[in-house]
Amino acid sequence: MKQNSVQSKTILITGSKLGEEAKKILTKNNFQIIYTEDYASSSEIAFISKQKQIDGLIVRKGIIDREVINSSNKLKIIVKHGVGYNNIDIDAATNLNIPVLITVGANSQSVAEHVLTLMLVLFKRILLNHKGLTCNRNWNRDINQGEELYKKNVGIIGFGRIGSKIVDLLKPLQMNILVFDPFLSIKDIPKSVKLVDNLELLLKESDIISVNCPLNKDTFHLLGKNEFLLMKKNSYIINTSRGEVIDENALIDALQENRIAGAGIDVFEMEPPNFIHNKLLQLNNVVTTPHIAGITKESFDRMGVSAANMIVGFFKNGLEKIEDKAIVNLRK
């Protein structure tokens, strides 16, 4: 094979959609694109992968377990269409020397804006007033009175690209910002932000908390019954990271017992959630969205282009020469 040329390769997208620009990048470089159904099971993904003997995998939805990773003898690279890679068996990929990459930064602006949106919807009681007006024809302007975000205390758990963009968006509101991130020091954060050295302090002082940390063994159920007991009764929590960072049953109990004021939830422990039995979908003090914080028209295109460029770069020139790469495993 000549340098900078690519023989025909097959790329599987776990999900039924990829941005148009990303598709153009792959097809013009001689890649065949195939898709799974949305939220296909691991077995279904593995079946397609084995049948087509895929060369690369772009992960949007579904669980990429050991069965999937072992299903194609030709699989050489896995790219996450996003940043959260908890649905990929990293150990299985590493054992086969398959690099796993993520599209860092492509959706951080979108997530940060979603966090701000949920804050405003919760504090201004937008949904309660909307339902009262459209469903109950209620023009009582006093029963669901909103609050200002101005100079409130906001706690951010996890201060990466998303956390820093949230801070930028909140500057005009002059909010007091607390950050808990055990991997950072004072020199890593803006002077306007207070870095706290324990989660307990952040929970006690914050009027609203935004969860923006990755899911791993240390953050699984990071927030549970004891943590909700520490929060102010008039405080809110927003989760746009991963559902399993919060003990969902403990959150439901805290909301039902009015131990906290409300929640903005974009992610669930089980996705899609059980639409009949999951009480987060039934409570009036909860605003929910279907894991869309990082998926705007702009960010979806950016993630797709980033993933496509990583795939093309890998097969053209190898892993080390991929520009703007973020490798999860196989770090030297």
Amino acid of residue 32: Q
H or E element, residue 180: strand 176-180
Is residue 60 annotated as part of the catalytic site, yes or no?
no
Give the whole-angstrom CA distance, residue 102 versus residue 306.
9
* Contact status, residue 292 vs residue 104, Cβ threshold 8 Å: no
Sign, Cα dihedral of 268, 270, 276, 277: negative
Give the whole-angstrom CA distance, residue 38 versus residue 42.
12
First to last CA, the chain: 27
Is residue 302 annotated as part of the catalytic site, yes or no?
no
Is residue 242 annotated as part of the catalytic site, yes or no?
yes
- For residue 170, give the nearest of 111, 116, 123 by alpha carbon: 116
In the set 20, 200, 257, 271, the catalytic residue is 271
In the set 125, 242, 259, 302, the catalytic residue is 242
In the set 114, 125, 291, 302, the catalytic residue is 291
Q: Read off the tokens for 214.
A: 């990755």
Phi, psi of 283 (to 5 degrees): -80, 140
Q: Read off the tokens for 188.
A: 């890593």
> β-strand 176-180 against 193-195: which pairing, if any?
parallel
H helical segments located in the chain: 20-28, 42-52, 66-69, 90-95, 108-123, 126-134, 161-170, 199-205, 225-230, 248-256, 297-317
Amino acid of residue 227: E
Q: Which neighbouring-strand residues pair with 10? A: 32
Give the whole-angstrom CA distance, residue 258 versus residue 277.
20
Active-site residue set: 242, 271, 291
